[in-house]
Amino acid sequence: MDNLVYFAHGKESGPQGTKIQHLSKVAKNMGFEFESPDYSFTQDEQERIDMLLALAPQADNLVLVGSSMGAYVSTVASEVLKPKGLFLMAPAFFVPEYAKQSPKPHAVSTMIVHGRDDTIVPMSHSQKYAEEHNVELRIFDSDHRLTSVLTDIEELFQGFLRQFV
């Protein structure tokens, strides 16, 4: 497989969430296959990481996309999977219960999208992470779900994927 986007949903979401539906259309229109496994059987981040690694998605152009806990899962898994891209929405970094507070992104390109009014994962966590790892951060006037700015995120995601085709 040449181009693959692999989406990891958030803690209380599912594999067919609103963001996934929107971003899958963008990916497919650009010639990417799109997979969104169901992690809802567990709330444990390490079990989700283990599942993603067991699925071992392979592609010349692998892009891992994650939302909240899924962004954390994708980032930790990037150490093994070595994707071309990491597209992280409201990533759950610096969560005290997680084994790694600020996992290093192992991708050619990493972008974070975060809502200014996020009350679940503070925007300051993404700001700190972006500084520590020198990755691009885009902040929107939205909350944790980011659904109010989906059109903007679709455009951003399209531009992000363009570098891999």
Which CATH number belongs to the domain containing residue 54 in this structure?
3.40.50.1820
Other CB atoms within 10 A of residue 92 CB: 25
Domain membership flag for residue 60: yes
Give the per-residue pLDDT at 132. Answer: 97
Domain membership flag for residue 24: no
Number of domain units in the chain: 1
Domain range spanning residue 107?
Answer: 30-162
Domain membership flag for residue 91: yes
Question: What distance in Å separates the CA atoms of residue 71 and residue 89, rounded to the nearest whole number?
Answer: 7
Domain membership flag for residue 4: no
Give the per-residue pLDDT at 20. Answer: 86
Q: Please report which confidence band the pLDDT of residue 51 belongs to, taking 50, 70 and 90 as the band edges.
A: very high
pLDDT of residue 1 exceeding 70: no
The string of DSSP codes covering 103-163 is: PPP-SSEEEEEEETT-SSS-HHHHHHHHHHHT-EEEEES--TT-GGGHHHHHHHHHHHHHT
Domain membership flag for residue 127: yes
Q: Look up the pTM and report it.
A: 0.96
Mean pLDDT for the chain? Answer: 94
Distance of CA 155 to the CA centre of its chain: 16
